[in-house]
């Protein structure tokens, strides 16, 4: 079984969904030799750097290092999970997705997921119809006060829960069970069944596949409870993995009209920006932006503008959001909306042109963080200025390259009038020059790391000289490299045909290893047969040297009797090193 599916089914699915044919529906591929080339859809480029290998059935970008098989490609292009990608490809190939009668839990979960999605879809339609009834005057007056257009109401399918029992009766009439109603998050039970979002304005939440997976509901009257109430996490909804408005981004991407994404604070801001012509905006749902959100956004676009509320809380949240996005590999800018307003308020007060000017002048994320800190200090006071300089330098020091750091020192100089030479000295002093042993030495020393990469690349690409005569399993401590080697060895031992696309059948994390292996350049190797053997020994040698160090370390805290035995072991290890003995 792979990802809950039989290995044979996954292979048949791939065979019937040729990767070149599938990718051609999304991208323009040009054949050069045996392979096809295209501009990578996962980062901005003008010269094609993504290679598609029709025999091995995988793609690899030599620019951003994205890679995968046809299932991975659909996952990334459609921003969906593995199961959804399989369903899309199965439908394309006219195949039926198998179920496993032996696994009752999987069957039950799948059945409940289908029921929950149906309940949410029916509820969304019902709530939307409610908004246009005579009894919905309070909700109608509210949307008018917020200046929602009829188009916006229809685009977002905004609805209304008119009381606490209507949705329960409606869903019951549709034949849904109370158990599934509660599982969907639409209905709760406390002595009786009632609407989770009773008497609130309803914002349906759609995933990237345009499925309703939950609701965010706003109270229309003063209440001791939260103004907004979101669906609880359940089988289809996780607020840490979805954002309001994501479904619109996918459509923009497919139209090649997504240059950047705007992140705002709430769904009201999303609606307001849509009405102003900005369809490229999303909002989190009552939670801080998560690494998963960042990953989803990166699949859609590399460029982000953070446009949270202009007040202190909003600006503090902006800094946290920036840090998460930058760690996710995104290009980030941020704006501060004047007068502590949110985007909705600012556009209503000053119009689209004024907001566009803010976007045009959005600050680079490092500059934004420096200016954000500036507000906490009075630079007319020497001690305050000194503290600000130290804080700003610590922000700059988070950057990876020296050239980047030097550029931002100019920003600090302009703000403080501290000479650039002084700032450079402070920057150097602030850097931690004492590195830990773990930082100095990677899992493998450089020579060993090169050996491992060469051996794995040779096995992956089925070079004539590559073999499994010496088992490396216990010598590869890096999990990514070890998983890759074990997969290759399994195909060899079972005498099965191996293609690089097979490496993506498993959910195990082999990305780090595979990305480096697919990039391997064999041209610099003069005698690959000889070098392969040398690499095998280098890996073995590294293992023996580490073992010798461990044994020597043991001598410091063992009894006299134990020392004799350890000395024997050390002697044996040294002999294997001298004579280059591979076997234990």
Residues 493 and 555 in one domain: yes
Residues 452 and 569 in one domain: yes
Residues 82 and 116 in one domain: no
Q: How many structural domains does the chain have?
A: 5
Q: Report the DSSP pairing between strands 67-68 and 159-160.
A: unpaired
- Answer yes or no: is 237 within a domain: no
- Answer yes or no: is 197 within a domain: yes
Residues 457 and 570 in one domain: yes
Nearest to 234 by CA among 210, 209, 215, 208: 215
Neighbours of 260 (CB within 10 A): 16
- Answer yes or no: is 245 within a domain: no
* 8 A C-beta contact, residue 22 and residue 89: yes
Residues 133 and 199 in one domain: yes
Predicted TM-score (pTM) of the model is 0.70
- Answer yes or no: is 241 within a domain: no
Distance (Å, whole) CA 59 – CA 72:
10
* Strands in 86-239 per DSSP E: 159-160, 187-189, 193-195, 200-206, 212-219, 228-230
Where does a domain end: 388, 410, 433?
433
CATH code for position 19? 3.90.580.10
- Answer yes or no: is 251 within a domain: no
- Answer yes or no: is 126 within a domain: yes
Tell me the residue range of the domain where 89 lies.
7-93
* 8 A C-beta contact, residue 204 and residue 124: yes
pLDDT in tens, 564-580: 888 889 999 899 899 88
Residues 204 and 159 in one domain: yes
Residues 504 and 548 in one domain: yes
Residues 478 and 523 in one domain: yes
Residues 131 and 44 in one domain: no
Q: Which residue is it, tokens 């257009």?
A: 149
Q: Which residue is it, tokens 């004492």?
A: 434
Q: If you write DSSP's letter for every residue of 410-460 in order, what string do you get?
A: HHHHHHH---HHHHHHHHHHHS-----HHHHS-SS-HHHHHHHHHHHHHHH
Helix (H) and strand (E) counts in the chain? 24, 16
- Which residues, at least 6 apart from 441, have a Cβ–Cβ distance to it below 8 Å? none
Distance (Å, whole) CA 490 – CA 463:
17
Write out the two tokens for 308.
């949270």
pLDDT in tens, 420-431: 888 888 887 765
Write out the two tokens for 221.
């009257």
Where does a domain end: 416, 433, 450?
433
- Answer yes or no: is 32 within a domain: yes
- Answer yes or no: is 422 within a domain: yes
Residues 289 and 321 in one domain: yes
Write out the two tokens for 318.
């902006």
CA separation, residue 101 to residues 12, 84, 251, 541 (Å): 20, 20, 37, 50
CA separation, residue 149 to residues 248, 274, 424 (Å): 17, 10, 54
Residues 82 and 117 in one domain: no
Nearest to 427 by CA among 446, 402, 449, 457: 402
CATH code for position 286? 3.40.1360.10
b/e sequence 548-577, b meaning 16+ C-beta within 10 Å: beebeeeeeeeeeeeeeebeeebebbeebe
Where does a domain end: 93, 116, 137?
93
Residue 35, SS3?
strand
Phi then psi for residue 546, to 5 deg, are -65, -40
Nearest to 501 by CA among 27, 57, 120, 36: 57
Q: If you write DSSP's letter for every residue of 188-202 in order, what string do you get?
A: EESSSEEETTTTEEE
CATH code for position 136? 3.90.980.10
**pLDDT tens digit at each of 584 positions of the chain:** 455 677 889 999 999 999 999 999 988 999 999 999 999 887 777 889 999 999 999 999 988 888 999 999 998 887 677 888 898 999 999 998 886 555 567 678 888 999 999 999 999 999 999 999 999 999 999 999 999 999 999 999 999 999 999 999 999 999 999 999 999 999 999 999 999 999 999 999 999 888 999 999 999 987 777 889 999 999 999 999 899 999 999 888 877 778 999 999 999 999 999 999 999 999 999 889 999 899 889 878 889 999 999 999 999 999 999 999 999 889 999 999 999 999 999 999 999 999 999 999 999 999 999 999 999 999 999 999 999 999 999 999 888 778 888 889 999 999 999 898 888 888 877 654 433 444 444 444 588 889 999 999 999 999 999 999 999 988 888 888 888 899 899 999 999 888 988 888 764 555 666 778 888 889 888 899 999 999 999 999 999 999 999 989 888 888 888 888 888 899 998 998 998 888 77
Residues 88 and 114 in one domain: no
b/e sequence 461-492, b meaning 16+ C-beta within 10 Å: eebeebeeeeebeebbebebbbbbbebbeeee
- Which residues, at least 6 apart from 346, have a Cβ–Cβ distance to it below 8 Å? 310, 337, 338, 339, 354, 355, 358
């Amino acid at each position: 079984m792979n990802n809950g599916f039989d290995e044979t089914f996954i292979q048949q699915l791939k065979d019937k969904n040729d990767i070149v044919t599938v990718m051609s529906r999304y991208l323009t591929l040009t054949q050069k030799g045996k392979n096809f080339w295209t501009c990578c859809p996962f980062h901005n480029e003008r010269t094609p750097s993504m290679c598609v290998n029709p025999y091995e059935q995988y793609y690899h970008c030599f620019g951003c290092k994205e890679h995968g098989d046809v299932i991975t490609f659909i996952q990334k292009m459609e921003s969906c999970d593995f199961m959804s990608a399989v369903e899309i490809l199965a439908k394309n190939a006219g195949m039926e997705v198998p179920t496993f009668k032996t696994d009752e839990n999987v069957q039950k979960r799948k059945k409940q997921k289908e029921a929950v999605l149906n309940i949410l879809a029916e509820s969304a339609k019902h709530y939307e119809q409610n908004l246009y009834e005579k009894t919905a005057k309070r909700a109608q007056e509210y949307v008018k006060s917020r200046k929602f257009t009829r188009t916006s109401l229809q685009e977002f399918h905004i609805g209304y829960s008119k009381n606490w029992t209507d949705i329960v009766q409606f869903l019951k009439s549709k034949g849904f069970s109370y158990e599934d109603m509660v599982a969907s998050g639409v209905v709760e039970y406390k002595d009786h069944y009632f609407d989770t979002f009773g008497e609130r304005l309803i914002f349906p939440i759609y995933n990237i596949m345009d499925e309703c997976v939950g609701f965010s509901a706003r109270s229309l009257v003063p209440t001791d409870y939260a103004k907004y109430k979101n669906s609880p996490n359940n089988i289809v909804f996780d607020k840490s993995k979805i954002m309001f408005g994501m479904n619109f981004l996918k459509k923009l991407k497919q139209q090649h009209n997504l240059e950047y994404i705007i992140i705002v604070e709430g769904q009201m801001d999303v609606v307001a920006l849509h009405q102003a012509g900005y369809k490229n905006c999303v909002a989190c749902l009552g939670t801080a932006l998560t690494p998963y959100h960042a990953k989803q956004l990166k699949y859609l676009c590399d460029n982000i503008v953070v446009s949270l509320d202009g007040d202190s809380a909003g600006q503090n949240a902006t800094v946290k959001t920036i840090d998460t996005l930058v760690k996710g590999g995104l290009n980030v800018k941020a704006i501060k909306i004047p007068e502590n307003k949110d985007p909705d308020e600012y556009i209503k007060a000053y119009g689209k042109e004024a907001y566009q000017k803010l976007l045009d002048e959005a600050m680079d994320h490092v500059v934004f963080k420096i200016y954000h800190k500036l507000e906490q200090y009075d630079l007319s006071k020497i001690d305050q200025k000194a503290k600000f300089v130290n804080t700003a330098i610590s922000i700059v020091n988070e950057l990876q390259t020296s050239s980047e750091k030097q550029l931002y020192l100019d920003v600090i100089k302009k703000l403080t009038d501290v000479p650039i030479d002084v700032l450079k000295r402070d920057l150097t002093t602030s850097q931690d020059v004492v590195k830990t042993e773990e930082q100095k030495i990677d899992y493998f020393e450089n020579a060993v790391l090169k050996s491992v990469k060469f051996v794995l690349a040779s096995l992956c690409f089925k070079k004539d000289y590559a073999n499994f005569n010496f088992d490396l399993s216990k010598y590869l401590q890096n999990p990514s490299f070890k998983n890759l080697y074990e997969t290759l060895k399994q195909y060899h031992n079972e005498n099965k045909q191996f293609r690089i696309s097979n490496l993506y059948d498993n959910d195990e994390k082999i990305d780090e290893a595979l990305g480096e292996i697919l990039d391997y350049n064999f041209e610099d190797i003069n005698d690959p047969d000889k070098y392969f053997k040398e690499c095998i020994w280098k890996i073995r040698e590294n293992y023996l040297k580490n073992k010798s160090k461990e044994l020597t370390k043991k001598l410091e805290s063992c009894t006299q009797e134990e020392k004799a035995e350890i000395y024997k072991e050390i002697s044996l290890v040294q002999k294997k090193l001298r004579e280059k003995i591979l076997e234990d």
